[in-house]
Amino acid sequence: MDYDALMHTMRRLALEAGDKIMEIYHADDFDVRAKSDDSPVTEADEAADALISDGLRAAFPDIALVTEEQSDTHDLDVKDFLIVDPLDGTKEFIHRRGDFTVNIALVEDGVPTRGVVYAPAKNRLFFTDANGQSVEETGDFAKASIGTTKKIHVSDPDTDALMVVASKSHRDQATDDYINRYSVKDSKSAGSSLKFCLVATGEADFYPRLGRTMEWDTAAGHAVLNGAGGEVLRLDDLQTLTYGKPTFANPFFVATAPGIDLTPV
């Protein structure tokens, strides 16, 4: 695998998809409909999916591709694949709250090893470099060339004063009950895969998710967190969350910096 070519392509496609999403985001109105599972989908989801899928298939035709918007057509039994959520945080997009992301990742042997998370409304771009180290790029994002980057790393948690981030749209009593097991100094809410990135940069120590997610929701953020020294663990047995599962559904999990004495659920 040419990781350098892969990351340049993934980054460029995420930026191009972000431009398309923001065009629709700033329109007076846009189409919203319900999918078969009653979750919302917009014309921005579909436009970004088409752009990214076409780009990845052209550049890497021999690698299997999984995307949220084409998930009904997937019947894959593979451990190596590209996986895309073209617009993670559709509810945030619909309500124009800004906490939505473009997610593209490579999964190898069930593990997300490279990923891009782009939050176009927040002007934040996170990705793994060719070596798997996670960085945040700042400034004006030129599609052809990478600008100023800084390496990111998870926190060294103070277990007596933890910083936690939780879902903005899906926080519930079960999540609060789990968080209350720990000595928490502060709690913040964020949408989409930005929560993984806040743990990756040390802005939060851990992110528990006691709710439904799919692999395309988590793979890119998981890759970024891995490359920053963090980990994503199943909450039932505290083993590493893996990918390529039947139906691509995730169990409950926690994304965390090492050093927290976690408890299973």
- Per-residue pLDDT tens for 99-121? 999 999 999 999 999 999 999 99
Spatial separation of the C-alpha atoms in residues 205 and 154, rounded to whole Å: 7
- Residue 129's pLDDT is what? 97
Where do the CATH 3.30.540.10 domains begin and end in the chain?
3-151
Place of tokens 């945080």: 89
Where do the CATH 3.40.190.80 domains begin and end in the chain?
162-256
Pairing of strands 65-67, 81-88: parallel
String of DSSP letters for 59-123? H-TTS-EEEGGGGGG-----SSEEEEEEEE-HHHHHTT-S--EEEEEEEETTEEEEEEEEETTTT
- Residue 36's pLDDT is what? 55
Q: Which residues are annotated as a binding site for Mg(2+)?
A: 68, 85, 87-88, 217
Q: Which residues are annotated as a binding site?
A: 68, 85, 87-90, 217
pLDDT in tens, 68-80: 876 655 556 778 9
Name every residue whose Cβ is closer than 8 Å to that of residue 91 and which is 6 or more positions away in sequence. Answer: 40, 169, 191
Q: Which residues are annotated as a binding site for substrate?
A: 68, 87-90, 217
pLDDT in tens, 156-167: 999 999 999 998
pLDDT in tens, 12-65: 999 999 999 999 999 877 877 766 555 677 899 999 999 999 999 999 999 999
Domain 162-256, architecture per CATH:
3-Layer(aba) Sandwich (3.40)
Report the percentage of the chain scoring pLDDT > 70.
95
pLDDT at 153 over 90: yes
Across 67-102, b (16+ Cβ under 10 Å) vs e yields bbbeeeeeeeeeebbbbbbbbbbbbbbbeeebbbbb
Q: Which CATH number does the domain 3-151 belong to among 3.30.70.980, 3.30.540.10, 1.25.50.10, 3.90.550.10?
A: 3.30.540.10
pTM metric for this prediction? 0.94
Residues 102/21, Cβ–Cβ less than 8 Å = yes
Residues 116/10, Cβ–Cβ less than 8 Å = yes
When pLDDT is averaged across residues 116-141 and rounded to a whole number, the result is 97
Rounded to whole angstroms, what are the CA distances from 182 to 67, 201, 227?
36, 21, 25
Paired tokens of 98: 């800004």
Spatial separation of the C-alpha atoms in residues 136 and 117, rounded to whole Å: 10
